[in-house]
Amino acid sequence: MLALHMRFRCDNRIMAFARAKTKLMDEASLHEYAVGALGRRMRSVAEMRRLLRNRVEIDTELGQALVDLVIVRLKDSGYLNDTSYATAFSSYRRDNEKFGRRRIETDLKMRGVHGEVIEKTVGEVFEEVNDEKQAREYLRRKRIKKPEDQKQAARIFRGLMRAGFGPKTIFTILKKWDVEEEVLTALESEETTE
């Protein structure tokens, strides 16, 4: 059941066909596929459920039952655990990408992790983290320097907001960079309108 990936030349361009998705209708092959997918990267229960739905005839009762059965089997064997996933994901994003708490919470919600799990694990991961220091490390990672004008200050403000840092932390950094008070006031009014 190997999926084929075909290419051919057409007018000096390489055209690629999508891999043929073979529908799996037995538990063993669907479980094997799921374990392989988890071997490539960790996934939340919701992500795995979406992935498996694409591999079965989901309109049938058998397809839905197979997906549920494989999910339960993966949970029982310890391969699928949203708490472990959220902890590993949060730690990675905090340490390597230097994101703030809010960004990580949003990303986990998008991946289908339950709100209580997110609150608990992100809280534990960020327990000892100084938000200002984390934001400065994010700026260093992105090679962002002290702003020279209002436009650059606004760009830094928005970038830090997208990275998951709160306005209080951002304004603390901008004040230490001697950004003018009128610029900070303008950014504060922008933050409240969004």
The model's pLDDT over 55-95, given as tens digits with 9 standing for 90+, comes to: 888 778 888 899 999 999 999 999 999 999 999 999 999 99
- pTM score: 0.80
- What is the per-residue pLDDT for 13? 56
Contact 144, 159 (CB under 8 A): yes
Segment 88-117 shows an average pLDDT of: 96
Mean of per-residue pLDDT scores for the chain:
87
Q: What is the dihedral of CA 167, 169, 113, 19, to 10 degrees?
A: 90
- What is the per-residue pLDDT for 163? 97
Q: Considering only residues 5 and 144, tell me which one the structure prediction assigns the higher pLDDT.
A: 144
- Measured CA to CA, the distance from residue 5 to residue 36 in angstroms comes to 18
Q: Domains of the chain: which residue ranges?
A: 7-76, 82-125, 131-193
Positive or negative torsion for Cα 94, 98, 102, 104:
negative
Q: Considering only residues 128 and 7, tell me which one the structure prediction assigns the higher pLDDT.
A: 128
- What is the per-residue pLDDT for 1? 39
- Indicate whether 168 pLDDT > 90: yes
